[in-house]
A and B are shown apart, each in its own frame.
Chain A
């Protein structure tokens, strides 16, 4: 190990690889793909950081982590201090270290990125969180005396967990209401075990509970109790109910058996542990040929899940590889594991048998035209290029709208065209007094870290409000 800061450090552009399960093995199991750094590798990687004064990495972090400081701690081998710094700003580091798109955020803005040697900030974050989990005792931060102010949080996903973590540390009394039977939202029903082990989500939630956050599961705010009723008991309410309304293609045959939304397919697998049927009661079919529609991270998750269950797994995407919205890392993982990609292909109808089961997917080939409103080249159908893919399951992973339950049962909220709750971006304030919102319910389907960033801003604004009372 080199000394912390030699006067002139030699530029080390060798970004340390993180070990992974070999692809031919991991494609047959649900264990985590990436295995994490060993301590020596983490120290080596962290020591490459220039500790540049500009610290551009922090600018692009939605939750404003003091990245150079925690990286320096890793370089020194002071992991306890590193995790403390990390947790000052991020109460879910084990999760963010795994699922944040660091290449677009901190790492994408690293001073070394132009030379291709950007610091693996995400891997270091993950390392610290996992290191802490192995320690005999977890250090809890000191919490100021109770303020006596009560906050209700609707939805136990990334946005809600962040708000809870921030406000409990300021001495407020926090209760999270979660509709499903497990906390974590998309982290437990959506993201598969092989990308984010559920034990890790549980660990992060348990940490919040240790800090004093009260958790109520199986409670559908909007149904079991309205926001207006919560406002009678709580000083403020934060809505982070997510983007839980799946889109379908709206093409013929969509209601055939064997056609799933990504939410259904992943929920059966992850939340309900369908892959362990019949030990767990929720059934999942043994499909032979699965087509997944879409090109985002969720589509990759579905395709890689189907593959692990022994199916021939195919991604059907209407643009080309360059336009895939998924993280490059996930695309590469999927390719290595054997997912087949059909680019420039648009499904046009599902074909079923006499018992109502899907048997084939009809698609048309596309070519790329001029860039459209999204800046990506617009796919144009090629006439007469219809192709039939034999399938026994199709998973629609083409996106989600915000779940309408809250908006429909809460007078006074302003609702946007896409069903999103309209908020002030800087504070997360809604049109309704004492109600804040953030995450996918405000933005439409986005990423875990953006939801956390929105939670952070809302927590700050809620705290200001509570202090003004």
Chain B
């Protein structure tokens, strides 16, 4: 069993949970994920690691509450236990001397790109961070990023913080930086990954995206997470989750992610309202 050490809704619908997970905390690297199962009847879902502390034996994940399982995890309170938290899975994000790197993140990806940003900086890179949200109230960890990054840029759909719009404004954002960017790394929802990759492709800037398809075991056994990258089928869990954003078949990935949309709704219709009560 894995104990919840801390649980908070950091902005509406985005939750940060810290678990006691000694073995995982010793091995975790930026860009890896864990598979979590909230109860004995529960589903296994992958969640990106947002932080960890090997001394405190803790692992933190960020997630968006979108359905039954994420809802169950979001509703966990400190002191409660879950049966499964396994990992760290997937390959770590490649941390090397790129020169200048732009890290782009939104939603739960703001959490998972934080350790990547930190590691890139420690490696001696110049690191810019672009955080995207629908509105200013959905941004979090701004100060943490401002402390480590060379510059943090915000873009909000409604213009309440930073630029107005979305990651599609990447070309002008890059221009405003006044120096060439050697590498882009994107974490977040599939739309952000796609939009960022589409915008960087004509500029010829290598772009790494952290994919988030449906998974079950997370060890290459089931193959549900397969994605087409440069016309080759890859398993996101063991070959990824990081891939070249310019080579990913986005349309296929978006369709595969929607495979169980109909079933996602069933538990919401058939479960009791107490199951959906938010923590105080």
A interface residue numbers (CB < 8 A to B) = 179-181, 189, 217-220, 223-225, 244-246, 248, 250, 254-255, 257-258, 260-261, 263-264, 267-268, 272-273, 277-285, 355-356, 403-405
B263–A277 contact, CB under 8 A? yes
Q: How far is the CA of A234 from the CA of B68 in the complex (A)?
A: 41
Interface size class of B (residues with CB under 8 A): 35 or more
Instruction: Please give the distance in Å from B171's CB to the nearest CB on chain A.
Output: 30
Q: How far is the CA of A219 from the CA of B83 in the complex (A)?
A: 12
B83–A404 contact, CB under 8 A? no
Chain B residues near A225 (CB, 8 Å)?
23, 27
Instruction: Please give the distance in Å from B33's CB to the nearest CB on chain A.
Output: 11
Partner of A224, one of B24, B220, B227, B263: B24
A-B contact pairs, 28 of them (CB 8 A): A179-B219, A180-B217, A181-B83, A181-B86, A218-B83, A220-B89, A220-B219, A223-B89, A223-B219, A224-B23, A225-B23, A244-B221, A245-B221, A250-B233, A257-B255, A261-B222, A261-B223, A264-B223, A267-B221, A279-B41, A281-B41, A282-B43, A283-B43, A283-B263, A284-B263, A356-B255, A403-B219, A405-B220
Q: How far is the CA of A264 from the CA of B256 in the complex (A)?
A: 14
Instruction: Please give the distance in Å from B238's CB to the nearest CB on chain A.
Output: 7
Further 4 A-B residue pairs, CB within 8 A, beyond A181-B83, A220-B218, A223-B219: A220-B87, A267-B222, A278-B263, A281-B72
B220–A355 contact, CB under 8 A? no
A268–B238 contact, CB under 8 A? no
Chain B residues near A282 (CB, 8 Å)?
43-44, 216
Instruction: Please give the distance in Å from B43's CB to the nearest CB on chain A.
Output: 4
Instruction: Please give the distance in Å from A357's CB to the nearest CB on chain B.
Output: 8
Q: How far is the CA of A208 from the CA of B26 in the complex (A)?
A: 29
A255-B228, A403-B219 are contacts. A281–B87 as well, Cβ < 8 Å?
no
Chain A residues near B87 (CB, 8 Å)?
220, 223-224
Q: How far is the CA of A418 from the CA of B240 in the complex (A)?
A: 21
Chain B residues near A255 (CB, 8 Å)?
226-228, 233, 252, 256
Chain B residues near A224 (CB, 8 Å)?
23-24, 27, 86-88
A244–B85 contact, CB under 8 A? no
Closest to A246 in B: B223
**B54 interface residue (CB < 8 Å to A):** no
Q: How far is the CA of A434 from the CA of B236 in the complex (A)?
A: 32
Chain A residues near B227 (CB, 8 Å)?
255
Instruction: Please give the distance in Å from A418's CB to the nearest CB on chain B.
Output: 15
The stretch of B176-184, B185-193, B203-211, B264-272 that contacts the partner chain = B264-272
Q: How far is the CA of A246 from the CA of B227 in the complex (A)?
A: 15
Q: How far is the CA of A269 from the CA of B88 in the complex (A)?
A: 25
Q: How far is the CA of A219 from the CA of B85 in the complex (A)?
A: 9
B221–A246 contact, CB under 8 A? yes
Q: How far is the CA of A260 from the CA of B216 in the complex (A)?
A: 12
Going nearest first, the 6 A-B pairs with the smallest beta carbon separation are A356-B255, A283-B263, A244-B221, A281-B43, A264-B222, A218-B86
Q: How far is the CA of A277 from the CA of B270 in the complex (A)?
A: 11
Q: How far is the CA of A282 from the CA of B68 in the complex (A)?
A: 10
Instruction: Please give the distance in Å from B71's CB to the nearest CB on chain A.
Output: 10
Closest to A225 in B: B23
A246–B222 contact, CB under 8 A? yes
Instruction: Please give the distance in Å from B63's CB to the nearest CB on chain A.
Output: 15
Instruction: Please give the distance in Å from B22's CB to the nearest CB on chain A.
Output: 10
